[in-house]
């Protein structure tokens, strides 16, 4: 089974048993899901209400029950963690829903099959959030576009863009280690959430 995309990693615990089985047996998807949770929680503003019980306390209690009663599986604990993160959005300030982003810039196509495609990115070094708009993408079966922030030739994955005949807009959160990136690149991959680029680079932009 191919690696799961970011949306599947965050919500699959509520939908499909086979995706849960894949996550439990795939170190790559486990690592990516941990990174997604760390990034999302790092950019959340302070809640407008003080919670009566923190997520750490809840998970600690669940873990204790699992140790003593052997009835709560690790996947349920992970599911509770994700549910807590998503449900907490209702208590957050409106600034999360409309982050202030820099002006969009067009990424240069570096691949002939994507020469007529148009990709705009709204991100610059220092920002925690970004947005990518893609149109007129070439549809290639069993492939996706993966977005990377680059510094000193090190690539940090931040987003997946589906290859479809429709316009695509993707919001992404940036890990702390990538917020001073020098460039952004997009590669063509046969599976989402690759730990490092394996396919050709098709778009690129260097920040000044």
- 90 and 117 in a single domain? The answer is no
- 202 and 112 in a single domain? The answer is yes
Domain membership of residue 100 (yes or no) is no
pLDDT at 146 (0 to 100): 95
Of 184, 188, 116, nearest to 145 by C-alpha is 188
First to last CA, the chain: 40
- 38 and 14 in a single domain? The answer is yes
| Distance, CA of 183 to CA of 207 (rounded, Å) | 5
170, 161 contact by CB (below 8 A): yes
| Distance, CA of 187 to CA of 160 (rounded, Å) | 10
Count of the separate structural domains present in the chain: 2
Counting every residue written for the chain, the total comes to: 208
Structure tokens at 192: 């989402």
pLDDT at 95 (0 to 100): 47
Domain that holds residue 18: 6-95
pLDDT at 165 (0 to 100): 86
Domain membership of residue 1 (yes or no) is no
Domain membership of residue 115 (yes or no) is yes
Domain membership of residue 52 (yes or no) is yes
**Of 60, 95, 130, which residue sits at a domain end?**
95
**pLDDT < 70 stretches in the chain:** 1-2, 7, 10-20, 39-99
Following CA atoms 202, 121, 118, 10 in sequence, which dihedral angle do they give, to the nearest 10 degrees? 70
Enclosing H/E stretch for 89: none
Whole-model pTM over 0.85: no
- 75 and 114 in a single domain? The answer is no
pLDDT at 83 (0 to 100): 57
- 119 and 186 in a single domain? The answer is yes
- 116 and 194 in a single domain? The answer is yes
**Of 52, 70, 95, which residue sits at a domain end?**
95
Query: Quick one: how many helices (H) and strands (E) in the chain?
Result: 5, 9
Tell me the CATH number at 139: 2.60.40
| Distance, CA of 123 to CA of 134 (rounded, Å) | 14
21, 8 contact by CB (below 8 A): no
b/e 74-92 (16+ beta carbons within 10 angstroms → b): eeeebbbbbebbeeeeeee
- 111 and 87 in a single domain? The answer is no
């Amino acid at each position: 089974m191919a690696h799961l995309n970011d949306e599947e990693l965050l919500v699959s615990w509520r939908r499909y048993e086979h995706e849960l089985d894949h996550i439990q047996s795939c170190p790559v998807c486990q690592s990516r899901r941990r990174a997604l949770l760390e990034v999302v929680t790092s950019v959340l503003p302070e809640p407008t209400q003080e919670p009566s019980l923190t997520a750490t306390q809840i998970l600690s209690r669940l873990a204790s029950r699992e140790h003593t009663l052997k009835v709560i599986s690790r996947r349920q604990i992970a599911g509770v963690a994700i549910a807590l993160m998503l449900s907490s959005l209702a208590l957050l300030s409106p600034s999360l829903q409309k982050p202030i982003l820099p002006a969009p810039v067009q990424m240069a196509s570096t691949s002939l099959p994507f020469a007529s495609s148009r990709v705009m990115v709204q991100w610059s070094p220092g920002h925690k959030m970004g947005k990518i708009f893609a149109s007129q993408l070439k549809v290639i079966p069993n492939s996706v576009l993966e977005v990377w922030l680059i510094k000193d030739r090190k690539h940090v994955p931040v987003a997946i863009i589906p290859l479809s005949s429709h316009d695509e807009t993707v919001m992404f959160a940036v890990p702390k280690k990538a917020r001073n990136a020098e460039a952004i690149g997009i590669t063509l991959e046969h599976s989402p959430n690759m730990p490092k680029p394996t396919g050709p680079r098709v778009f690129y932009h260097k920040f000044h």
